Amino acid sequence: MISDPVTGDILIGLEGLVNLTNLISGESSDVGAGTTGTSTPDGSVETSETNPDNIPVDPDEGGTPTNQIEIELEGPDGEIKTLLIDIQ
């Protein structure tokens, strides 16, 4: 997730499926692998195919420790998925 108070939020889907919701308008869209979702301050939500050149380098790949939140989610079929949120 890339967040900017002027341009809005950008969610780049690398794997799985995430629902991106704009709290101003209530508009939402699913963002999956290979898809980029954009939520703007005016309330719009759009998705497009991800350009691989726009995927930022993961700062954690260098082995630097970060704070991390781990949330386990259970789907309707009982499958457990883990959502990891890195806090920088």
Q: Is 60 exceeded by the pLDDT of residue 65?
A: no
Please state the rounded mean pLDDT for residues 63-71.
72
Structure-block tokens of residue 24: 């101003």
For residues 25 and 41, is the Cβ–Cβ distance under 8 A? no
pLDDT band at 28 (very low <50, low <70, confident <90, very high): very high
Contacts of 24 (CB under 8 A, 6+ apart): 41, 42, 43
First-to-last CA distance in the chain? 12
The three-class DSSP label of residue 34 is coil
pLDDT of residue 64: 55
Structure confidence by residue, pLDDT tens digits, 30-43: 999 999 999 999 99
How many structural domains is the chain composed of?
A: 1
Q: Is 90 exceeded by the pLDDT of residue 59?
A: no
